[in-house]
Amino acid sequence: MKESCSAVSKLLEKYFDQEVTDEEKSVVETHLLDCQACQEVLRSMEELRNLVRAPVEEAVQKEDFQWIWQKIERGIRLEERPTFWETLQSWLQISPLFQRKVWISAAVAVAIILIITIPMFFKKTPSLLDQSVIEYVESQTHNVMIYESENKKVTVIWLFEGPAEETSPS
Amino acid sequence: MNPVTPRPKGRGFFRGLNILNIPFLPGLKAGASWSNGVNHDETELISRCQKGDADALKEIFDQYHKKVYRIAYGVVRQREEALDIVQEVFIKLYRSIRFFKGQSKFYTYLYRMTMNTAIDHAREMRRAPFSSLDGMEGFQPSDGVEKRPDSILLHKELEEKVKRVLEKLPNDQRMALIFREIEGLSYQEISETMGCSIGTVMSRLHYARKRIQELLKDYVKEERRG
């Protein structure tokens, strides 16, 4: 008994994709001998495959891929160039000194010394002028100039009696 | 096409025992390879590539570049873009191959990477549509009679139409169709590459074909008449 179209149509796509068993293949091929409609379905699938595949095959045939490989090679070489961080890491790994944990305590000690000494270098030494106060007082009898350092350890007073005269500091 | 080998069963301890060729687990055969369908040469090639050997990558390139190009061209259907994808895929492969543990077949890993990269490119192309002169150099019928300008134009138009129709398909259907119709993978291979069952592959192929036939029926009729 000949299989009906509906039964065979389920197998038709598998047959077209060469995924049927021998038994299924024989069923489909027997049916196809007498069925124009199923032959037409197969032909449509074949045409569709050609539409999708032919331009791709054409493009593959025309292409020379060697220059693509050269571009890939260049791309890889660029990627292989190590970054600063990678260079530093590899140097730390290579150096036997840094393979021991001694460097951790050494680094801590250096950091402490730096923390203590750096502020000393940057400490601003105040100049004498910054700390001193000079006042000048004019009066009818004497003109007075007073120099006083900020910590009040030194006080110098000048007395000026006349326009051209000057007393020595007391 | 890559041969389909049964997926080995058993893990860890049992794998170790297989070295002794003891066929005691169901589905195992004495002497069966545990490299998951990757042959010895390829395993060695991959291992060399994982160590940063660029010559090994060249060998992989020689073996797979046309397949990668086919998939890429199948998705974007534009020469320059497809070549960019090939370049990108092999650089990506070189960068990421150290993460390939051999739990799946190598070609499934590579095809998946290619398909994802190609679909990303296609998405970008849709965002910034650009019709290059290069696109006009696409498909040219090899038959001398058909090299007439009007015939070439008709084919260009058809190729453009096919491209647009493929773009309309959901990604899963498009991937299945390209793997089957262009790369010629079996249902089993497509299911492994896409990580789904064979039934799902068949269903995706069926709906993709049906949709394309609907959208291209006028062109197909014209082709027959021509």
Buried b or exposed e, range B179-205, using 16+ CB within 10 angstroms: bbbbbebbbebbbbbbeeeeebbbebb
Residue B35 pLDDT > 50: no
Angle of the A22-34 helix axis to the A5-16 helix axis, nearest 10: 120
Amino acid identity at A165: E
Question: Looking at the domain assignment, is residue A72 inside a domain?
Answer: no
Evaluate whether residue A27 is within a structural domain: yes
Q: Chain A residues with CB inside 8 Å of B66's CB?
A: 60, 65
Domain count, chain A: 3
Asked if B54 lies within 8 A of A73 by C-beta distance, the reply is: yes
The verdict on a CB contact (< 8 Å) between B70 and A45 is: no
Q: Which of A101-105, B14-18, B109-113, B152-156 has the lowest mean pLDDT?
A: B14-18
Cβ contact B86–A76 (<8 Å): no
Amino acid present at B91: I
Q: What global pTM score does this model have?
A: 0.64
> A153 in contact with B at a CB cutoff of 8 Å?
no
The verdict on A118 and A144 lying in the same domain is: no
- pLDDT (mean) for A110-139: 75
Backbone angles phi and psi of B68, in degrees to 5: -65, -40
- Per the DSSP assignment, residues forming a β-bridge with A136 are A145
Give the pLDDT mean for B49-54: 88
Q: Which residue range(s) make up the domain with A38?
A: 5-62
Looking at the domain assignment, is residue A75 inside a domain?
A: no
Q: Are B34 and B26 in contact (CB under 8 A)?
A: no
The closest CB to that of B61, out of A13, A45, A69, belongs to A69
Residues A111 and A151 in one domain: no
Min Cα separation A55/chain B (Å): 5
Residue A117 has what pLDDT?
87
The last residue of one of the domains, among A34, A62, A90, is A62
A52 and chain B in contact, CB less than 8 A: yes
My answer on whether A154 and A105 are in the same domain is: no
Model confidence at B19, in pLDDT bands (50, 70, 90)?
very low
Residues A9, A58, single domain; the answer is yes
Residue A73 lies in a domain: no
ipTM value:
0.72
Q: What is the pLDDT of residue B31?
A: 34
At residue A165, the pLDDT reads 52
Res A90: pLDDT: 64
Pairing of strands A132-138, A155-160: unpaired
Q: Which domains does chain B have, with CATH numbers?
A: 1-34 (no CATH), 49-137 (1.10.1740.10), 139-226 (1.10.10.10)
Q: How far is B216 from chain A (nearest CA, A)?
A: 8
Helix (H, G, I), strand (E, B) or coil at B92: helix
**A72 inside 8 A of chain B by CB:** yes
Residue B139 has pLDDT above 60, yes or no: no
Q: How far apart are CA B105 and CA B124, in angstroms?
A: 29
Q: Which residues contact B125 (CB under 8 A, 6 or more apart)?
A: B76, B78, B81
